[in-house]
Chain A
Amino acid sequence: MLVLEKNALSEEIESLVNQFGKERSALLQILQAIQRKHKHISDFAQQEVARMMEIHPVEVNSVVSFYSFLCTQPKGRNIVRLCQTISCDMAGKEKVEETVQRELGIKFGQTTKDKRITLEFTNCLGMCDQGPAMLVNEKVYTKLDPETAINILNEIK
């Protein structure tokens, strides 16, 4: 990481801490904001959060590692999460899964080379009556079939 980038990230975290406050209860919100923008929370970001909130970096890491929507390694610009829970599974999740993997040339858990898309599984999205369902970042898509899923993925930048 370049010094300039580091400085920019520090400034950004500082403004987040100012916005949400220094209390411990603000930690998750701060981490969510970093995750939303950078698609991961780097070691450096965690250390800076810890420093500004005056807690041990391990405390920050323990929170990041607990929540499945937070991560420490960079991911693609778009995170696609396909629901793997029973109702979506019965509604045809497997076919969507196979087609999407073939189309993008990656497996679930991986990121495309151009960093455009990360594929992940997720547990119940609460769309069981309209499965199979997936989230693209925070947007939800339902009643997928292989064709519509591919069309949606091809449209995201």
Chain B
Amino acid sequence: MELEKIKKKMRSGPVLFSEYKLGEGVKKALQLGRENILFELKDSGLKGRGGAGFPTATKWMLSGASLSDKKFIVCNADEGEPGTFKDRVLLLEYPELVFEGMIIGGYTIGAKEGILYLRGEYEYILKSLEDFLEMLRKDKLLGNNILGNENFSFNITIRLGSGAYVCGEETALIESLEGYRGEPRNRPPYPVNTGYLGHPTVVNNVETLASVPHIILKGGEWFKKHGTDKSTGSKLFSVSGDCDKPGVYELPWGTSIAELLKVVEAKNTKAVQVGGASGICLPKSQFNRVLGYEDAATGGSIIVFNESRNMLKVLKNFMEFFVEESCGQCTPCRIGNIKLLEAIEKIENNDFTFSYINNLKELGRTMQLASKCGLGQSSPNSFISILENFKDEIFGLNGKGKNNG
């Protein structure tokens, strides 16, 4: 089946999927002025939606305070985490929110240029996005003197990636934009000071930017009403795997995994992978945990496994992914992931000792500490959590025999 034609599905949700009229966010932002925008944003408690959860207002303030004649807003649409597809939905169905978020960001920090870094796999969305930008230019929401404001001009260009998961890491993304291999940089300096071409740069996730127009329009106080104290607002969850209704759902932070499973009509669920391949795998006994930065953090990826799945096979798929996608720059990640994959193969062949497995878990913890970027720091998560939470199944300690299923 070919991808369904771009159309607005009937979606509803508390924030992102609530009603919105094109241009309202930018209009309100220009009335409010920079200080008030930052105030509302800080008040809202919005944190980065890509997974790391850095406060957006702080990022904008830091780059706003940097002295430079040139600044950039970069929208990170390099959505590559296994099981994540919310950005695809936002870009196809709600491009106005994403672009207006970029425009508001540009106005706030004093940037004149925005870049949307679209992953190569999403090239088929490019045309509709460019058409949309053209429409924004006609509506005076983009280009010179936006909405007649003489002091504010802003433009957006779209750049394509070429199939590299690591480019979702913000400094790797900047390297890629600059025409280099997508290898993460040391931090500090942070992109808010020294980013694209050495200029202050804000890199925000698609969903983070898409939340901004709503916050500007309805206020930080309103946004805070949703979610929990530490995780304000709502989140888009991309749900896939063994459930009757996979798809993108907007739910407030603080929703428990059991509640989410009910919404997507999952049956006989054995495990849930929260946060994609770089996230953690939770067994049934932990389905009461809640989704949020303070408990089960996620960039939105939820993969559901039912009783018939072999968790060792799942883990192998994840580790193969990391071995392929490691950029190879730092040793813990380049070699470590290969060693973890080797261990899985040895378990498959029943050719291992428990002290060896324990050593490798220790190696995983070393990788979490010693890797240069988020990829290597998080790739051992699934290795450690699956081997610990499903040891009965994998090592056959419950008498059922190993690798059943």
Contact = CB atoms under 8 A, between A and B. Distances in A.
B-side interface size class: 35 or more
Contacts of A139: 2-3, 124
B179 A125 contact: no
B44 interface: no
B51 interface: no
Interface stretch (B158-166, B215-223, B226-234): B158-166
Nearest to B245: A129
A123 B321 contact: yes
A70 interface: yes
A26 B88 contact: no
A128 B181 contact: no
A85 B321 CA distance: 7
Contacts of A124: 80-84, 165, 321
Contacts of A85: 82-83, 277, 317, 321
A129 B1 contact: no
B238 A90 contact: no
B1 A148 contact: yes
Interface in B284-339: 303, 305, 309, 314, 317-318, 320-321, 324-325, 327
Q: Chain B interface mostly helix, strand, loop or mixed?
A: mixed
Contact of A69 (B79, B162, B247): B162
Nearest to A27: B179
B57 interface: no
B119 to A, nearest CB: 8
Nearest to B320: A84
B181 A66 contact: yes
B239 interface: yes
Nearest to A55: B179
A128 B240 contact: yes
Interface in A123-142: 123-131, 135, 138-142
Interface in A26-84: 26-29, 31-32, 35, 62-63, 66-70, 84
A89 B241 CA distance: 9
B164 A66 contact: yes
Interface residues of A, number: 42
B3 A86 contact: no
B95 interface: no
B246 A128 contact: yes
A10 interface: no
A24 B83 CA distance: 33
A37 to B, nearest CB: 14
Interface in A1-36: 23-29, 31-32, 35
B83 A128 contact: yes
B377 to A, nearest CB: 19
Contacts of A140: 2-3, 121, 124
A28 B162 contact: yes
A66 B325 contact: no
A128 B82 contact: yes
Given A90-B309, A138-B123, A138-B124, A129 B248 contact: yes
A86 B162 contact: no
Nearest to A35: B162
B368 interface: no
Interface in B52-80: 79-80
A143 B1 contact: yes
B85 interface: yes
A89 B321 CA distance: 12
Contact of B240 (A27, A28, A129): A129
Contact of B120 (A62, A69, A89, A148): A69
Interface of A: 23-29, 31-32, 35, 62-63, 66-70, 84-87, 89-90, 122-131, 135, 138-144, 148
Interface of B: 1-3, 79-85, 87-88, 119-124, 159-165, 176-183, 197, 238-242, 246-248, 273, 277, 303, 305, 309, 314, 317-318, 320-321, 324-325, 327
Sorted nearest first, the 5 A-B pairs with minimum C-beta distance are A27-B179, A128-B240, A67-B162, A129-B246, A69-B163
